[in-house]
Amino acid sequence: MKHHSKTRKLGRTKSVRKALIRSLAEALILNGKIKTTEAKAKELRPFIEKLITKGKKGDLAARRVAISRLIGVQLVGKLFSEIAPKFADRNGGYTRVVKLPARGGDGSKMAIIEFVA
């Protein structure tokens, strides 16, 4: 039984996994959508959606939490000024994961994660 195993380990240690999720979130905020493996996209979704909810709040405490979770302060500015206001009337479900065919080299399941219109 798979009790008490919420997160996907992605074959990495905790610190490397945290850095990976941060860099994927950075790329998603900068580009609007990214192509990655399905497991990474599914692991990124709750991380980025919680940040957008913090961005919708918009207060100083939420901004400080976002700065601690992301790599750059400029990303937090873009998150709070451009991305979060687009979802002001939406209660969650800010991203979508679209499944793609498997990658040719190793057969990994691929997906695109993007912000919903």
CATH of the domain at 61: 3.90.1030.10
Domain extent, residue 22, equals: 14-115
In a domain, 5, yes or no: no
Chain mean pLDDT for the chain: 94
Query: How far apart are alpha carbons 37 and 40 in whole angstroms?
Result: 5
In a domain, 7, yes or no: no
In a domain, 48, yes or no: yes
In a domain, 82, yes or no: yes
Span 50-60, pLDDT tens digits: 999 999 999 99
Q: What's the whole-model pTM score?
A: 0.91
Query: How far apart are alpha carbons 62 and 67 in whole angstroms?
Result: 9
State how many domains the chain has: 1
* Nearest alpha carbon to residue 45 among 33, 57, 30, 55: 33
